[in-house]
Amino acid sequence: MTTADELVAIARSYNPRTNEAMLRDAFVFGAEMHQGQFRHSGEPYFTHPVAVAVSLADQQMDDATLITALLHDTIEDTKASFSDVETRFSREIAELVDGVTKLTNLQLSSTETKQAENFRKLFMATSRDLRVTLVKLADRLHNMRTIKSMKVEKQAQKARETMDIYAPLAGRMGMQWMREELEDLAFRVLNPEGRNSIIRRFLTLQKETGNVVEEITADMKSELANENIPAQVMGRAKKPYSIWRKMQEKDLAFSRLSDIYGFRIVTENEADCYRALGIIHQRWKAVPGRFKDYISQPKTNGYRSIHTTVSGRDGKRVEVQIRTREMHEVAETGVAAHWSYRNGERVENRFAVDPVRWISSLTDRLDEDHDHDEFLEAVKLEMYTDQVFCFSPKGDVIKLPRGATPIDFAYAIHTRIGHATLGAKVDGMRVPLWTRLKNGQSVEVLTAEGQTPQATWIDIAVTGRAKTAIRKFLREENREKFVRLGVELARVAFENAGKKATDRALSTAAKAMALEDVEDMLSRLGSAEITAQSVVRAIYPDLASRIGDEVDAGHAVVGLRADQNYQRAMCCQPVPGERIIGITMRGKGVIVHSIDCEALVDFEEQPDRWVDLHWEEGTHGAINTITLDLSITNDAGVLGRICTLIGEQKANISDLTFIDRKPDYFRLLADIDLRDAEHLHRVMTALEAESNVSAIARHRDPGRAGMTLAR
């Protein structure tokens, strides 16, 4: 354990004016209060507060924050009271310790409604003093570093909570290094096989290509030195979770991933940033569409940097970030830059932006909405996404999350504009409403009097603001119809559980689900925002398992009329768990497509044929066929091992088609029968970890848009 002398030495290294006596006193007080307490690992408990304090000292935090770290568990876990801390230290420190205690007591991994309310409290606490959140993040970081000593089920709970809340919160605060480490530590718990497969691939890649990072770093230093640009060049391989997430988002195998290596160039001034960019682009070929200038258009958390991707040695893509030293400090420490000291003085960094403004505006804007689930969704969307900057026809800049659509753009301008949206033009060209907007594009929203939101917009929209407005409109517009349908759905669900949907039962369920009233619950049930099973589960949790455990293949899709049947489209092969949309086809009923299917563009001008659908909750049978595109080494027994791997995942191969045969590899299409998206993910993960599989991808064929799959 770090001693008091060592902690003081760290603090004095960046703040010679540190209150050494108070730091030592806090160390002694914390050790006394935690005397006789031990962690799950068997270590004295006080080793934890000390580790948290050291972590914050490494970020050059002020004395009050370090003392708070040493005492952050005293009010909660020892005999010390608020007044004890206030009397011995100060009111400021007592309030900080109390703030950390309150955050600790929030059960952020509980039910969605309670989680949403706690999220609201978390942000309100954060907006009062950011140092409370900084201590809590450092506390969570040390707990995740030492998580192996906890029970397995507790590890999973803490890891999921970290992945869902603390990691993105650290990122939103601009502390990218902490976000990456928290994500990777959680990934190690939640998916150890996936993480190990990434590491194995890295080791194989290093054997094949040598130390790419050192070679490219040396090349960049040489090029910059030749042009007399003083700069520091750093390179590294990206974290396993970062690579895994990119594989999932882009549905790519490891071998097809680009820019798995990242490089940073830190210059003395802004002008040198752009000079360095020119040198990099002269020496290496720039990848089109992979350039972002966050210096001229900073992120809302103060992040500034130039991002570009180039083809490096042997054609391998690498990402390059170029920034000044001041920008680098903000990029590394984020909000902590507000509290940093240098030579005993607080450092004013002109690029640091206080996230309190963002948090305050978020809580103010969403405080009017009493729908907890929508609040939670909006908060997570705000935290998780980077931003793109688009222009209105008048030249106004509209900030949106990455992946936003023209619908999000319309609602960002005004709810009235969003409701009346008929279409959109991007850079003068008419585009579908599900088009993903990019930085710098000019967007014109086309409106029409009498136009109203469509149910399909909920899946197309990305921002919490747009989704909330659409749901609210649809709920009010169709409330009477949805309530009638909800009554019938509730009656059937309760009968299947051997109960009756009495007024008292429905009222109890609505209260248990924290909804406004019975009518609100029935409206949501009728509009498929909640399920009949969840209503029964609210008051009869033991009986709810009887409902919908095994989904009938003929009723696996929700949203069809009684006289409609459905078929899965062969072009995109949607499976349960994926977002879907229906297109009516004469003689074929409703054809179910994935929401991102390229074939949907052909129906853009035929909105009457679109049907809003989603999969029924419950376990689906292994009857859904998808096609995988595999490249495997041409060695004896490889194909047999691939088939065995798929069989071990309880999936069935219904067809194999070889589309390319080479002396060293085969490329084939494998039709596999499985249950749902999670089952597909497990199959692909198992194949991805197999060293004889050089590439794997989901096969999609827009040319088969008119064809359907048997079910």
Q: Do the Cβ atoms of 699 and 628 come closer than 8 Å?
A: yes
Q: What's the one-letter identity of residue 85? A: V
Residue 647 in domain: yes
Same domain, 185 and 312: no
Lowest mean pLDDT among 106-120, 424-438, 491-505: 106-120
pLDDT at position 406 is 94
State the pLDDT at residue 614: 84
Q: Which secondary-structure segment (H or E) carries 329?
A: helix 325-333
* Mean pLDDT value of segment 577-599: 86
Q: Could you confirm whether 77 is annotated as catalytic?
A: yes
For residue range 138-190, list pLDDT tens digits in order.
999 999 999 988 888 889 888 988 887 788 878 777 788 888 899 999 999 98
Q: Which percentage of the chain shows pLDDT scores above 90?
A: 23
The terminus-to-terminus CA distance of the chain in angstroms comes to 62
Query: Among 243, 115, 109, which Cα is nearest to 163's?
Result: 109
Cα(33)–Cα(84) distance, integer angstroms: 11
When divided into structural domains, the chain yields a total of 4
Q: Amino acid identity of 650?
A: K
Is the pLDDT confidence value at 251 over 60? no
Domain assignment of residue 10, yes or no? yes
Q: Are residues 316 and 200 in the same domain?
A: yes
pLDDT at 44: 92
Distance CA 349, CA 416 (A): 40
List the one residue out of 609, 598, 603, 607 whose CA is nearest residue 704: 598
549-562 burial, b if ≥16 CB within 10 A, otherwise e?
Answer: eebeeeebbebbee
Domain with residue 443: its CATH number is: 3.10.20.30
Whether the pLDDT of residue 231 is over 90: the answer is yes
pTM (2 d.p.): 0.55
**Residue at a domain's end among 346, 377, 406:** 346
Residue 338, helix vs strand vs coil:
helix
Annotated catalytic residue within 25, 58, 63, 77: 77
Between 172 and 268, the more confident residue is 268
> Where is pLDDT greater, at 41 or 209?
41
Edge-to-edge strand ranges of the sheet holding 624-633: 652-661, 665-674, 624-633, 693-698
**Chain position carrying tokens 């929700």:** 558
Residue 137 to residue 439: CA distance in whole angstroms = 31
- Answer yes or no: do 300 and 341 share one domain: yes
| Whether 184 and 319 share a structural domain | no
Does residue 524 form part of some domain? Answer: no
Taking only the tens place, the pLDDT of each residue in 494-516 is 887 788 889 888 998 888 887 88
What the block records as the tokens of 321 is: 């970030």
Closest CA to 265 of 232, 302, 227: 232
Q: Is the model more confident about 399 or about 263?
A: 263
Comparing 47-56, 69-78, 340-349, 386-395, the range with the smallest average pLDDT is 340-349
Pairing of strands 443-447, 557-558: unpaired
pLDDT at 22: 94
What percent of the chain shows pLDDT beyond 70?
81
pLDDT reported for residue 545: 47
376: confidence class by pLDDT, cuts 50, 70, 90: low
Say whether both 210 and 163 belong to one domain: no
Q: Which CATH number does the domain housing residue 69 bear?
A: 1.10.3210.10
pLDDT beyond 60 at 258: no
Q: Do 155 and 218 fall within a single domain?
A: no
Q: Are residues 284 and 402 in the same domain?
A: no
Domain harbouring 594, CATH code: 3.30.70.260
Q: Same structural domain for residues 456 and 598? A: no
End residue of a domain, out of 190, 215, 247: 190
The answer to whether residue 555 is domain-embedded is no
Known catalytic residue at 184: no
CA dihedral 428→434→439→444, nearest 10 degrees, is 30
395-404 pLDDT, tens digit each: 777 878 778 8
Q: State the catalytic residue, choosing from 76, 219, 354, 520.
A: 76
Residues 251 and 141 in one domain: no
CATH code of the domain covering residue 322? 3.30.460.10
Question: Is residue 181 included in any domain, yes or no?
Answer: yes
3-state SS of 428-497? CEEECCCCCCCCCCEEEEEECCCCCCCCCHHHHCCCHHHHHHHHHHHHHHCHHHHHHHHHHHHHHHHHHC
Q: What is the pLDDT of residues 13-59, one digit of tens each?
A: 888 888 999 999 999 999 999 999 998 888 999 999 999 999 998 88
Domain residues for the domain of 322 are: 194-346
Cα–Cα dist 239/15, whole Å: 32
What band does 644 get if pLDDT is binned at 50, 70 and 90? confident
Which of 155, 190, 225 delimits the end of a domain? 190
Q: Does 354 reside within a domain?
A: no
Residues 78 and 53 occupy one common structural domain: yes
Q: Note whether 620 and 711 are same-domain residues.
A: yes
Q: Are 589 and 441 in a shared domain?
A: no
Per-residue pLDDT at 709 exceeds 80: no
Q: Is residue 550 part of a domain?
A: no
- Within-domain flag for 621: yes
Question: Are residues 692 and 701 in contact, defined by beta-carbon separation less than 8 angstroms?
Answer: no
